[in-house]
Each structure stands twice: as structure tokens, then as C-alpha cells.
Structure 1
């Protein structure tokens, strides 16, 4: 992204993971779109088998959108709070109109040159997880408009382990980055609601230990360090110390 910004004059830049790829015709379809009024456009990301990739599902920030906030509250007792603010399957139907979103992933994100110049670059200290959330939320706080285009299709060739409480991260050192960065992103998203939200998040996250089986205690140890660093906004813990924390040192 830095090379694209500083060493080219490209009008738009496409961002994707190393295990993400545009479906045939995606770039041609993007070039034919009416992009007036949009500063960035996120693609519909699916697994190679055609199912929606949950980790790349865009959302409207419920703390900025009263409707999404109320839908989230209504679904939380049923354990489906995420459905209140993430886009629905219906939003992915080809031909559906482009929708404004507050967060989308770096798998299939098209950034205008103006957005790249104004919003700057992601923070490399995040290393893994959450960099796209923070970057796109920051764009929205600056007033930049991000659209979700269901007709732009990207594949994400990734296999995510699922437990009873959701995603199970392997290798287990990834737990540190997921939850440290999530706290930092929640601080941006929730604003004055952040501190009342923290106990709810910690209670929810600690329940995930059961999905790690014999590594449940190790999960809690890594999570506790991630929470301490996330609340302090600390991004300077060396990766080798994270590995040591996870028993790989």
C-alpha cells in the first residue's frame, strides 16, 4: 500500500490477503461500476465452495447506528448479537444494491487514491488481525464512504476451525493478536461505551477456553496478557515473547 501510494499514480488500489484472489472478471466488473460518491469498495468474500466467509463479513458499527445497536441488543440474549450489525446473507445476493458499511476486510478491498492519501497506512505493529477493522473504521470517522458490492466476488482460500463458541485459533499464539487487537478496535468503535463494554467482552471471551480442550489454561494465560496489553494500547511486545507465552519459546 505504501508503494502504491508513493510510487504510482494509480486511481484505485486493490488489497487482498496472500490466500485471497479475485474471481474471474472481478476487476473488469469493478472498472465498469459507477464509483461516484464512494471512496472505497469492499467485495463479497466467499470460500472456494461458494459459502460466505464469515471472517470477512462487513458490518455497520452499532455504536454509530441506532438501528444496528437495537438489533444487536435484541439478539444478544440468544447468542446472535453479531447478526444485528453484520450484513445479512440477503446483502450478498448478486444484483443487490451497493450498501454503505463501516468496516470491511482487506480481502478484496478497493481503495481510491484519495482514500489512501487521506487515511494513511495500516499500523504494521498490529501484525495480524484487526488491522483492516481499525483502518476502515478510521476512514469512516474521517467521513470517507465505504460501499459493499455484492457483485464483486473474491475467494478466500482459508480453513477456519469452529468450536461451540466460534472461531478456534491455531497455532494458539494467534489468540494474543486476535484479542489484543480486538480490544483496540472496540475502543475506536465504541467510544464512550468502551469501558462498560469491557466486562461483557471479557466474560464472553473467557468462555471460549472450553473450545481449546487441553490447552484451555494456556488459552486463558494468553488471553489475560492480550487483555492487559490491549487495554494499555501496547503494540510493542516482540513476537518472540508472544511465542514464548504460547509455549513455543
Structure 2
């Protein structure tokens, strides 16, 4: 297999557009923009999901010509925001690659240069960065994954050890070479812009939040493209590993529904036997949060919609069932 650089032109470093989605985190966004503009991105697209905290005004005062600001009138969620930003990046800039990250994540110094120096096969459609907390420990929620459904032995190990996840081993972060993965998060994920314009398309915006990234990257693999994990490309993610359902109980609906949809896609014909484990995991989540308001209704609706792969309910409906007495 012949190798070429990340650039498709062969005339210097490839052009990379960063896409950042933000909602109501202006203080953190300022840090993210500072670190992003310090690197040689050709454009930086910021999707402001109707933030009420002054984000729009602050962004309007920024003068770097690489910034492209998309101010939405409603909150599109992470999924809708990335779909909006990636569509703009692919069609309104001349980039060859797009990289996504949240408003609490940013590339460490030299990350873009590391990507631009990679030798990638023409069959590589995506590259996943190594994501760390600011204290330099690995951010588990952003570890890329390998499907266990390709090998019977992997499925058996998964059943025996319920704590085992699909995520790659931590030892992968210590290696120098690129490593194959089957899916990844959107924090530090590079994708060929030509694929976004073409067969891959955009993330599924009606997912609203959670699993839009893993479903999108799994679609990339399903189309026959390779995804590589690049431990030398490092991002920081200044986030919490837990979701506060006491403040935003509606998030439980999306976590459960979208997780079921993702596992149905990745497991194929093995979904129904595997779904026993999946429902058991949902039940544990319910028990842990059984005192949260309307948790039973949220969980049951999410399970129903997940198994039917129904993403037609809008966010207003989800919020309404989380608040109804």
C-alpha cells in the first residue's frame, strides 16, 4: 500500500479547519480559542448554540481573520452543532481536513504540526488524537474503541468481565506508531473534508447529544475507510467524567437512547443477544439515579425509542417529559 502525507496536494502542510461547538461556557471558550489560534489552522469555525452568557458579544469582538462565527438562534445540541459547523467547514473553506472538539477541549502545542507530518494511506479517512485531562492523565471518555463483535473470543471476554469496555488499552498511548480503531469521540478527531462533502456526509443532528461522534466514526469505518489512533497528537479536555442528572435529568434520555442505537449499529445481527447486557447496564444506571425526578419515564421512553431507533422526538419533548409531574 502506498503512503502519502496528510496533505492531498503534496505542496506543503495540508489545510485543516477546526470546528468548535459551544454552549454557555464563555470562560472556558476563551481558553480554547486562545490555544487553537496559537496553531496554524487555516480556519476556525465556532458554532455558538444560542448561548445566553455573552458568548455572541465576545466572539463579535475577535479580530483573527481565520475565525468564522456561526450564531444559532436555538440550541442545536452537540450533534446539531457539529453537523452545522462541519457542513460550513467542508463547503465554505478550502480545507483538506476538518478537526472537531468541544468548548472545553483544545490541542496541545504542536498537535496540528504532528498531524500534518503524518504519513497516511489513501484509505485512511479519519485520525483520532490522544485526549488527556489537564493533569496529563488519560481522559477515559475520549478513548477510541475497537468493536468486540468482529471476534467471538472478544464477545466472550466482554460477557465474563462486565467492567470491560470497548476502549483501546491504555498501553496504546505509550506507543509511537499509528494504531487502527473502529470509532472515536469528536474531541481531536480529524476527518477528510472530501468525505464530509461526499459519501460520509454529516453527523446525525437529531441525536442532539451523546453518541453522535461514535456513530459518525463507526459509519466512516462501515464505508470501508480506516481510522487511526495517533498517540503523538495530544489534546486536553477539561471536563467532568460524570453527568449531573440532578441538574439536567433530560440528559439520561439521550445517554440511554443513543447508546442503544450505537450498540445496535456496531453489533449487527448479534444485537439482540447482546441487548440483555445492555438493558442490565441501563437498569444499573436507573438504580444509581432512581431518586432523580421523572427518571422512570425518561428511562422507559429512552429504551423504547432506542430499540425502535426513533430519533424523531425533538428536544422540547424530551425536556417536557423530564419536567412533567
Fold-level match, TM-score > 0.5?
yes
**Whole-Å separation in 1 of the counterparts to 2:200 and 2:127:** 15
- Partner residue of 1:81 out of 138, 154, 164: 164
**Whole-Å separation in 1 of the counterparts to 2:91 and 2:179:** 30
1:41-190 alignment runs, 5 A limit: 41-66=127-152, 68-76=154-162, 80-82=163-165, 85-93=166-174, 95-116=175-196, 117-161=198-242, 169=245, 171-190=248-267
Total equivalences in the alignment? 237
CA contact (8 A) 2:107 2:234 kept: yes
The yes-or-no answer on 1:224 pairing with 2:300 is: yes
- Deviation, 1:63, is 1.1
Q: Paired residue for 1:164?
A: none
- Deviation, 1:8, is 2.4
CA contact (8 A) 2:200 2:220 kept: yes
Structure 1, unaligned stretches of length 5 or more?
A: 162-166
TM-score, normalization: structure 2?
0.68
Q: Paired residue for 2:53?
A: none
Q: Are residues 247 and 134 of structure 1, via their aligned partners in 2, closer, same or farther at CA, if it must alter by over 3 Å?
A: same
- Partner residue of 2:114 out of 18, 23, 29: 29
**Whole-Å separation in 2 of the counterparts to 1:71 and 1:200:** 13
Instruction: State the Cα RMSD in Å.
Output: 1.9
Q: Paired residue for 1:246?
A: 322
TM-score, normalization: structure 1?
0.88
- Deviation, 1:137, is 0.8
CA contact (8 A) 2:133 2:236 kept: yes
CA contact (8 A) 2:125 2:220 kept: no
Q: Paired residue for 2:309?
A: 233
The yes-or-no answer on 1:9 pairing with 2:97 is: no
Q: Paired residue for 1:199?
A: 276
CA contact (8 A) 1:39 1:112 kept: yes
**Whole-Å separation in 2 of the counterparts to 1:66 and 1:99:** 22
Q: Deviations over 1:13-48 (max 9, x none)?
A: 111112211111100111111122422100011111
Structure 2, unaligned stretches of length 5 or more?
A: 1-85
CA contact (8 A) 1:123 1:131 kept: yes
